[in-house]
Amino acid sequence: MAEHESQPSDVGVVLVGGSNTVMRYGWSRAMMASPTRVSAKAALGASSNIFAIRTLMDHPNPDAEVLIFNANVTEYPLMKLGDYDFELARDAYKHILSYCQDRQLFPINLIWPEQNYLDAKASGDLTLAADTYFSSLSLELSVPFIDGFRILEWLQGAFNRERSSLFLDRDHLNNFTAQTIGRAISKTVMELKNEEKLRNAGIAHQLTREFEALELPTQVSTSTGGLETRTVSNSLITQDFVVLTADSSLTVEVDDEWEVVGYLLNARHCNASIRVWGESGVARRASFRRYNPDEAASPFVCARALPFPVRPKNGKVVLSIVAPTEDDYLDRLFAGENKFERHELEIEIGQLFLRGRQSNKLRIAVPGMDLDLTNRVIKNLNISR
131-149: pLDDT as tens digits: 888 899 899 988 999 999 9
Q: What is the mean pLDDT of residues 180-204?
A: 88
Q: Are 356 and 313 in contact (CB under 8 A)?
A: no
Which carries the bigger pLDDT value, residue 333 or residue 59?
A: 59
* 37 in Cβ contact with 9 (< 8 Å): no
**pLDDT tens digit string along 202-245?**
777 777 888 999 998 866 555 445 788 888 887 778 888 999 98
Instruction: Report the pLDDT value the prediction gives residue 337, as an integer from 0 to 100.
Output: 44
Lowest mean pLDDT among 163-167, 235-239, 322-326, 361-365: 322-326
Reduced to 3 states, what is the DSSP secondary structure of residue 121? helix
CB neighbour burial string for 64-93, b if at least 16 within 10 angstroms, e if fewer: bbbbbbbbbbbbbbbbbeeebbeebbbbbb
Domain at 210-359, CATH from 1.10.10, 3.80.10, 2.60.120, 2.60.40 = 2.60.120
Give the tens place of pLDDT for each residue, 248-294.
Answer: 889 999 999 999 999 998 888 888 888 999 998 888 877 666 777 77
In CATH terms, the superfamily for domain 11-201+366-380 is SGNH hydrolase (3.40.50.1110)
Q: What backbone phi and psi angles, to 5 degrees, belong to 38?
A: -75, 105
Domain map of the chain by residue range?
11-201+366-380, 210-359
Which of 126, 89, 326 is CA-nearest to residue 208? 89
Q: What is the mean pLDDT of the chain?
A: 83
Among 96-105, 145-154, 192-201, the range scoring the smallest mean pLDDT is 192-201
The SS3 assignment for 119 reads helix
